[in-house]
Amino acid sequence: MSHGAEPRKRTRDPEGKRAAILAAARAVFAENGYEKATIREIARRAGVTHGLVVLHFTSKEKLFLAAVPGASILAASEAGDLNRYVLADGPLAAMPADELIDRLARTLRAILFD
């Protein structure tokens, strides 16, 4: 009786996969900016499925906040809409969220690739 190739064992490493997703997200956000970054591209680079990214982070906004250094200085509005996020305080408090996100992405790009 012929037994083809042994089935590949699946390893469960949620923390390792989460770390891979965050690393991929940092790179994709840095390269493409927030608007052009996609969960599918992040998943592809992390070597996981789109669904696993969503399972860990639920949305692109939450993934961005988890992945990008400095994003934790953002405070969510009651609606939880990233376009309505504002800085809690400081000189950038009046900056529109999309401009702030682009600046954070450029800063991250400089840190990672320069």
- Domain count for the chain, please give it: 1
- Over residues 29-82, the pLDDT tens digits come to 888 888 889 999 999 999 999 999 999 999 998 898 888 766 554 444 333 444
Contact 71, 104 (CB under 8 A): yes
What the block records as the tokens of 61 is: 């906004």
Domain CATH number, residue 81: 1.10.10.60
The answer as to whether 6 is a domain residue is no
The answer as to whether 95 is a domain residue is yes
What the block records as the tokens of 60 is: 């692109």
Residue 20 domain boundaries: 14-113
- 76 burial type by CB count under 10 A (0-12 exposed, 13-18 middle, 19+ buried): middle
The answer as to whether 107 is a domain residue is yes
pTM for this one? 0.58
In this structure, is the dihedral angle defined by the CA atoms of residues 95, 99, 101 and 107, taken in order, positive or negative? Answer: negative
